[in-house]
Amino acid sequence: MTLENSDIRSQVLAADESRYQALYRQDVAALGPMLVDADYVHIHANGKVDDKAAFLASIEAARYRFIDAERTEQQVRIAGPLVLLHGRTRTTLDVEGEIKVMDNAFTTVWKRTGDGLKLLHWQATKRA
């Protein structure tokens, strides 16, 4: 891994951690600028697909609250202006007062922009 690639890996992991911190706080004002404006896609583990507005509205409405997300087996790949991060996440959520733990594989696609890394795509897949 080159020094540049090492820097990008550190940057994408830091950006992803910042995103999770905003999710824990349900901080839509902080989360919104982290997501690409027009093309953001969020695919939930149940197959539901949200665009940026729908995803942010669900966070703001507190339909569910992120409590913790333990990420493991994270790998970073660089493809031109895109940086892919994938791995496993064990996510603890409060869904209308009921605590749920999900074990998912995830893939994120980050886009390098003049304003830094922006999340373009999130997809979770339930692990059996």
Q: Total domain count for the chain?
A: 1
DSSP code for 115: T
Where residue 13 falls among pLDDT bands split at 50, 70, 90?
A: very high
What average pLDDT does this structure show over 46-70? 93
Q: Please report the pLDDT score of residue 63 as a whole number.
A: 81
Range of the domain at 76: 3-126
Report the distance separating Cα 97 and Cα 64, nearest Å: 9
Whether the full predicted model's pTM is greater than 0.85, yes or no, is yes
pLDDT digits (tens, 9 = 90+) for 106-127: 999 999 999 899 999 999 999 9
Q: Please report the pLDDT score of residue 108 as a whole number.
A: 98
**% of the chain at pLDDT higher than 90:** 86
CATH of the domain at 119: 3.10.450.50
Report the distance separating Cα 92 and Cα 104, nearest Å: 11
Q: Please report the pLDDT score of residue 62 as a whole number.
A: 85
